Structure 1
Amino acid sequence: MSEKIQLHNLSAHDFEQCLKCSICTVYCPVSAVEPNYPGPKHAGPDLMRYRMKDPDFFNETLKLCLNCKRCEVACPHGVKVGDIIQEARIQYSQHSPSLRDRMLANTDFVGSMATLVAPLTNFFLGLSPAKTVLDKVMKIDHHRQFPAYSGTKFETWFHRHAEAEQQNYKHFVGYFHGCYVNYNYPKLGQDFVKIMNACGYGVHLLEKEKCCGVALIANGLSGQAKRQGENNMQAMRRSLSEGNEAVLTTSSTCTFTMRDEYPDLLKVDNQGVRDSLMLATRFLCQKIDEGKIKLVFRKDYHKKVAYHTACHMERMGWTLYSTQLLKMIPGLDFMMLDSHCCGIAGTYGFKKENYERSQKIGAPLFQQIKEVNPDYVSTDCETCKWQIEMSTGYPVMNPISILAEALDVEATKAVNSY
């Protein structure tokens, strides 16, 4: 079966509205460090006019695009420049995904295998000889540090320790935990459950959840991404039909992919789901503003936190929710970092041919973090976490984990026991 999706409405992203102002190119983090990249204006709207007439105008240099969507944030006319570039890659690229690309993209398969022998996996991935082999054979740069795998999946923990008590609550939400929580960092999922339970909400996992597919899209496996997307939409529709108020997430990139790239790039119908699919921080802010829940924080919690806006978070325009929640913590010294791409872009920064470029893109961000010298950096994107921790040495926490750490659980339960 072909892994390509046939696209029909190539003008759907409003490329005709491009003013040729080049603001997108000025705002593009790749253009700033890579002279071989033609820039989003030229790679997107300009060449789309030619590609529609002759596919030979497609150029494989489009793979240099991070798909960060910063060009779309900057565009004064709402042209979906990033989507134009990604659609061109899906439609016209003749590059066949390598074994490396398939392994990086298939997070469920790799994660399931790695967690079975997590101590050995983590030990092996930290060895210099292993990194050298991965560099020479798989073309995964030897400088790259891999996130550690957990010996117990989040789903396993949930079924053993949390599932039974979720029916004790009057209100419920579904939870799309994603690959990172399930295989690498179950504590984020545990923190989410802790907060929602304290606020009077039971948590239900989605039935047969699959990876959101963002890595599959980036690595030329859009057909598989579409199948997984359709599976996830079915699971979410079931969740909402069973009485869950919303389907919540703790990853900005997963959320953006399922809300916006499913219909725009994969032609996956998410009607009836999109408006109920959101980051947990957005849901909590809405409920607090409506006076339906309250958060009570420990008086002894004092930390300096610098917040990094992940690119897809900025594209959704949801930074306000996470930062507003963090600012509610009385003992938190909050610092908003400048808007910079960290450079990793999911699997992009793992690849040998991209590693140096990835680090150059993130350099201004890394420098500012070191100057601020926080206790934690906070961000809603797990791959930003990996990049920042590797490149600066500072610990990075999701806003949900910071909230869970600062929360007075018993006092919060008491004020939400309605």
Structure 2
Amino acid sequence: MNSQQYNISNNNFEQCIKCMICTVYCPVVPVNHDFPGPKQAGPDGERFRLKTPDFFDPTLKYCLNCKRCEVSCPSGVRIGDIIQAARIKYNRSKPKLRDMMLANTDIVGTMSTKLAPVVNATLKLSSVKKVMDAVLRIDHRRTFPQYASQTFESWYHQQAEAKQDSYQRHVSYFHGCYVNYNFPQLGKDLVKIMNAIGYGVHLLEHEKCCGVALISNGLISQAKKQALHNIKAIRQSVIENNRPVLATSSTCVFTLRDEYPHLLDIDNADVRQSTELATRFIFRLVESGEVKLAFKKDYHNRIAYHTPCHMEKLGWSIYSTSLLRMIPGVDCVMLNSQCCGIAGTYGFKKENYETSQGIGNPLFRQIQESHVSYVATDCETCKWQIEMSTPTRVMNPISILADALDVEATIALNGIKI
């Protein structure tokens, strides 16, 4: 590559007014002084990097890509995108074996589910954790998510697929790696809710991981290949089959909608608005009066809602919390919006573990002081982090809604005939 390839930036760094608000809101700065902060790493650094790539600072790897800098910026500068784009363009360090293992969730998940009991038991052993720490630099203090013995896709094809065409209205479901390999119950819960309000749920054709872990670990070619495949499948669903695409993961939907065009240069403008979080879709149906929900009379829980960072960027937490507040037996507590610190694969890495936990500590204290039955959140890695760091169980709002829903009464209210 010659220097002429570095003389243009696709990001709006010149709109930065140097107010430092992004640095104040950055969760990394207070706990990791090696990170220069979003202003210096983003807009300031971009001016130098455009002159020569030699100005690239490897400490940009400490950025979580949480986008809280962008949420706080009064000028609308895409600070997080500037930092991530710089890592993509200028970083010459090759991904380690550890990074490739953490990022390739489909490969690891496919292998792990086939031997789930053995894998789950092995990953709990302190001796195995110490070896992974020494050899792979995956911190021995980190708890791994459990793998399911049956994937969600397998369950869907065996138990649910046959009856989905009998409904009059239809959606497609981007389930993501977590639902498929770790927690199929969340996918089952979405199917249960959507069927109860008269929607058939379909899977995208050969869905692949959204690619967020590949992007953050520097595997950009693979991320782009998978993204192109997913966008093709989403277009088939939205444009050819007239089925909007729903997701239950805030990070998956954020990646599909915003990271594809901003970081991978993949145009998704024709399907972006038809790709959304399931709670947003369901809330709008209820709010418009198009569908009605009936709830169990004996369901009572005090639930705290944690806003994931990418949910904060989307601005969609209001939909999840509004759905929770529709349940008569729920006392919903809104936690202060704070980063949990895990940032996907970031918190698994030995060099990031202390930073990860330091970022999350204020949130962990707040949760324990709230005295709730559950924490609700729309991000699976936030769930892993909170459950590892507090004694409180974490549930996706969709699973809470499914638990509280009176299915038969909801079907009757909506006049659903199958």
Taking structure 1 as the reference length, the TM-score comes to: 0.97
CA distance, structure 1, for counterparts of residue 5 and residue 391 of structure 2: 43
CA distance, structure 2, for counterparts of residue 393 and residue 125 of structure 1: 20
Q: Establish whether residue 336 from structure 1 lines up as the match of residue 334 from structure 2.
A: yes
Residues 89 and 331 (structure 1 numbering): CA distance in 2 closer, same or farther, change over 3 Å? same
Quick one: which amino acid aligns to residue 135 of structure 2? V
Quick one: which amino acid aligns to residue 365 of structure 2? Q
Tell whether the 8 Å contact from 1:341 to 1:361 is kept in structure 2 after alignment.
Answer: yes
- Name the counterpart of 1:415: 413
Q: What SS class does the counterpart of residue 353 from structure 1 fall into?
A: helix
How far is the alpha carbon of 1:245 from its aligned partner? 3.3
Identity rate, percent: 64
Tell whether the 8 Å contact from 2:16 to 2:75 is kept in structure 1 after alignment.
Answer: yes
- Name the counterpart of 1:254: 252
State which of 286, 306, 313 in structure 1 corresponds to 2:304.
Answer: 306
- Name the counterpart of 2:357: 359
Deviations 1:39-73 (A, max 9, x none): 00000000101100110000100000000000000
- Name the counterpart of 2:64: 66
- Name the counterpart of 2:36: 38
CA distance, structure 2, for counterparts of residue 10 and residue 111 of structure 1: 39
Q: What is the Cα-based RMSD across aligned positions, in Å? A: 1.3
- Name the counterpart of 2:192: 194
Q: Please list every run of 5 or more consecutive structure 1 residues that lacks an aligned counterpart in the other structure.
A: none
Tell whether the 8 Å contact from 2:7 to 2:50 is kept in structure 1 after alignment.
Answer: no
Quick one: which amino acid aligns to residue 285 of structure 1? F
How far is the alpha carbon of 1:35 from its aligned partner? 1.1
Q: What SS class does the counterpart of residue 171 from structure 2 fall into?
A: strand
Taking structure 2 as the reference length, the TM-score comes to: 0.97
CA distance, structure 2, for counterparts of residue 92 and residue 218 of structure 1: 14
Q: What SS class does the counterpart of residue 271 from structure 1 fall into?
A: coil
Q: What SS class does the counterpart of residue 246 from structure 2 fall into?
A: strand
Query: Which aligned runs of 4 or more in structure 1 are off by greater than 6 angstroms?
Result: 6-9
Tell whether the 8 Å contact from 2:6 to 2:51 is kept in structure 1 after alignment.
Answer: no
CA distance, structure 2, for counterparts of residue 414 and residue 50 of structure 1: 64
Residues 28 and 369 (structure 1 numbering): CA distance in 2 closer, same or farther, change over 3 Å? same
Tell whether the 8 Å contact from 1:294 to 1:412 is kept in structure 2 after alignment.
Answer: yes
State which of 96, 99, 115 in structure 1 corresponds to 2:97.
Answer: 99
CA distance, structure 2, for counterparts of residue 145 and residue 112 of structure 1: 20
Tell whether the 8 Å contact from 1:14 to 1:79 is kept in structure 2 after alignment.
Answer: yes
Deviations 1:3-39 (A, max 9, x none): xxx9889543211000000000000000011111100
Number of aligned residues: 414
Quick one: which amino acid aligns to residue 243 of structure 1? N
Tell whether the 8 Å contact from 2:173 to 2:203 is kept in structure 1 after alignment.
Answer: yes
State which of 169, 172, 175 in structure 1 corresponds to 2:173.
Answer: 175
CA distance, structure 1, for counterparts of residue 374 and residue 158 of structure 2: 31
CA distance, structure 1, for counterparts of residue 56 and residue 202 of structure 2: 45
Is 234-243 or 246-255 further displaced after alignment?
234-243
Tell whether the 8 Å contact from 1:172 to 1:243 is kept in structure 2 after alignment.
Answer: no
Q: What SS class does the counterpart of residue 193 from structure 2 fall into?
A: helix
Tell whether the 8 Å contact from 1:174 to 1:203 is kept in structure 2 after alignment.
Answer: yes
- Name the counterpart of 2:400: 402
CA distance, structure 1, for counterparts of residue 406 and residue 83 of structure 2: 47
CA distance, structure 1, for counterparts of residue 8 and residue 125 of structure 2: 47
Q: What SS class does the counterpart of residue 288 from structure 1 fall into?
A: helix
Tell whether the 8 Å contact from 2:67 to 2:80 is kept in structure 1 after alignment.
Answer: yes
Tell whether the 8 Å contact from 1:171 to 1:244 is kept in structure 2 after alignment.
Answer: no
CA distance, structure 2, for counterparts of residue 217 and residue 177 of structure 1: 19
- Name the counterpart of 1:346: 344
CA distance, structure 2, for counterparts of residue 116 and residue 416 of structure 1: 40
How far is the alpha carbon of 1:265 from its aligned partner? 0.2
Residues 413 and 7 (structure 1 numbering): CA distance in 2 closer, same or farther, change over 3 Å? farther
Is 89-98 or 267-276 further displaced after alignment?
267-276
CA distance, structure 1, for counterparts of residue 5 and residue 171 of structure 2: 34
- Name the counterpart of 1:115: 113
Q: What SS class does the counterpart of residue 350 from structure 2 fall into?
A: coil
Tell whether the 8 Å contact from 2:247 to 2:277 is kept in structure 1 after alignment.
Answer: yes
Tell whether the 8 Å contact from 2:248 to 2:378 is kept in structure 1 after alignment.
Answer: yes
- Name the counterpart of 1:281: 279
How far is the alpha carbon of 1:239 from its aligned partner? 1.2
State which of 10, 27, 30 in structure 2 corresponds to 1:29.
Answer: 27
How far is the alpha carbon of 1:209 from its aligned partner? 0.3
- Name the counterpart of 2:241: 243
Tell whether the 8 Å contact from 1:7 to 1:91 is kept in structure 2 after alignment.
Answer: no
Q: What SS class does the counterpart of residue 351 from structure 2 fall into?
A: coil
Quick one: which amino acid aligns to residue 185 of structure 2? K
How far is the alpha carbon of 1:289 from its aligned partner? 1.8
State which of 205, 209, 220 in structure 1 corresponds to 2:203.
Answer: 205
- Name the counterpart of 2:132: 134
Q: What SS class does the counterpart of residue 225 from structure 1 fall into?
A: helix
CA distance, structure 1, for counterparts of residue 295 and residue 134 of structure 2: 50
CA distance, structure 2, for counterparts of residue 9 and residue 163 of structure 1: 51
Tell whether the 8 Å contact from 1:97 to 1:221 is kept in structure 2 after alignment.
Answer: yes
CA distance, structure 1, for counterparts of residue 6 and residue 54 of structure 2: 18
